[in-house]
Chain A
């Protein structure tokens, strides 16, 4: 009998069996989900301690044990001083490749309250990864509390749109030209319409945001990355090919994600399998965009003298 397994996502051997060894996975970036958001932030000292413990545990139990693994720095986002201190503490370990937030924040992400976190990330050359979920203290949709998980899940895509909008109009992207934001588990296909809508709004209301030096769509193309799972699935998969042609920046910005171990996991050899795309674009999506963003070393040649 094999040793009793812990829950999926908390057992390295099981992760290897179900994911890392089953497919040819070079690197996997972990995204620990920690209750250090608004819901867990009533006690900021506790939230900060929880984040420190999680990052230490991740390094010791996971990153030390498998060279394929990288991770994300979890921070108590609603207490900026603590969050910055944690970025400073962990960022020197190169196996942590991004600062991690969840999409449901107490204030829209462009709010100046959060800017020190972005400054710390940019200072260390780290992207900020923003993952589905969290508790910001607000109703789950822009129109109030939804009744069903279906609405909550699909509605997260709308929170991603709101956060992108807030970041673009806030001016932080002018202030930190090398800030890179990764939107994780929020979908991709909405970005074209949102960029149009923001440009249209900017034409009429730019007096309100005179700090912007460019059109909103230009910030989107330069500062935002997206991950596949749960990528939109149009009835005709070619709709996504057309979208990628119409928004060329997406070819360099979309990265495969698995959502392992959740209920809507995508396998690497299956995701967007029916979407016509060049081999080059597929390689970018599956490997090269993430390799460039997270500065992951290329694989050593097989005969590298070992």
Chain B
């Protein structure tokens, strides 16, 4: 029982995010140019509220004194110590293999498809806000058992 409906795509416009609480865990759902990603709202360093950090791009360099800034909006910087994390994978910039925030897959599914699998999907906070899932709409489904970025 690890798939949760957490909203509709319209709840999280491109460039925005929203934090949901699922199974006691705060998780940020991010929209990157129409693709949805989810990371835990808890920095692996000291537990800072990662999802309220500045969302920025990747700063890299081909050599001393030169700066490249791209992949805008894909990096999340923790508000407590400014460690950077990739939203798509949860990997930290400073120690990508060792320090990661848990990242989860998010899919967009039709209400019709969701209605067809009632045994597996947990409605989650979305229906708790009294939004019934209707077959005509699309929904964001967060998979807590999955791992994004591996």
Query: Which chain A residues border B79 with CB–CB below 8 Å?
Result: 265
Q: Count residues of chain B with CB under 8 A from any CB of chain A.
A: 7
Dominant secondary structure of chain A at its interface with chain B: loop
B46 touches A271 (CB 8 A): yes
B39-53 interface (Cβ within 8 A of A): 46-48
B82 touches A267 (CB 8 A): no
Complex: how many Å from CA A269 to CA B48?
Answer: 11
A270 touches B46 (CB 8 A): yes
A239-285 interface (Cβ within 8 A of B): 263-267, 269-271, 273
Complex: how many Å from CA A267 to CA B47?
Answer: 9
Nearest CB of chain B from residue A159's CB, rounded to whole Å: 21
Residues 56-84 of chain B: 1 if any A CB is under 8 Å from the residue's CB, otherwise 0? 00000000000000000000000111100
Residues 10-47 of chain B: 1 if any A CB is under 8 Å from the residue's CB, otherwise 0? 00000000000000000000000000000000000011
Q: Chain A: interface residue count, which band?
A: under 10
Complex: how many Å from CA A270 to CA B82?
Answer: 16
Chain B, Cβ-Cβ closest to A263: B82
Nearest CB of chain B from residue A47's CB, rounded to whole Å: 32
Chain B, Cβ-Cβ closest to A272: B46
Chain B, Cβ-Cβ closest to A270: B46
A270 touches B81 (CB 8 A): no
Chain A, Cβ-Cβ closest to B65: A147
Complex: how many Å from CA A206 to CA B79?
Answer: 48
Complex: how many Å from CA A135 to CA B35?
Answer: 47
Complex: how many Å from CA A270 to CA B79?
Answer: 14
Query: Which chain A residues border B46 with CB–CB below 8 Å?
Result: 266-267, 270-271, 273
Chain B, Cβ-Cβ closest to A269: B47
Query: Which chain A residues border B81 with CB–CB below 8 Å?
Result: 263-265
Nearest CB of chain B from residue A29's CB, rounded to whole Å: 20
Complex: how many Å from CA A255 to CA B82?
Answer: 23
Query: Which chain B residues border A265 with CB–CB below 8 Å?
Result: 79-81
Complex: how many Å from CA A263 to CA B79?
Answer: 7
B75-127 interface (Cβ within 8 A of A): 79-82
Nearest CB of chain B from residue A252's CB, rounded to whole Å: 25
Query: Which chain B residues border A271 with CB–CB below 8 Å?
Result: 46
Query: Which chain B residues border A266 with CB–CB below 8 Å?
Result: 46, 80
Nearest CB of chain A from residue B75's CB, rounded to whole Å: 16
17 more A-B residue pairs beyond the given contacts A265-B81, A266-B80, with a C-beta to C-beta distance below 8 A? A263-B81, A263-B82, A264-B80, A264-B81, A264-B82, A265-B79, A265-B80, A266-B46, A267-B46, A267-B47, A267-B48, A267-B80, A269-B47, A270-B46, A270-B47, A271-B46, A273-B46
Question: What would be 19 A-B contacts, judged by CB atoms less than 8 Å apart?
Answer: A263-B81, A263-B82, A264-B80, A264-B81, A264-B82, A265-B79, A265-B80, A265-B81, A266-B46, A266-B80, A267-B46, A267-B47, A267-B48, A267-B80, A269-B47, A270-B46, A270-B47, A271-B46, A273-B46
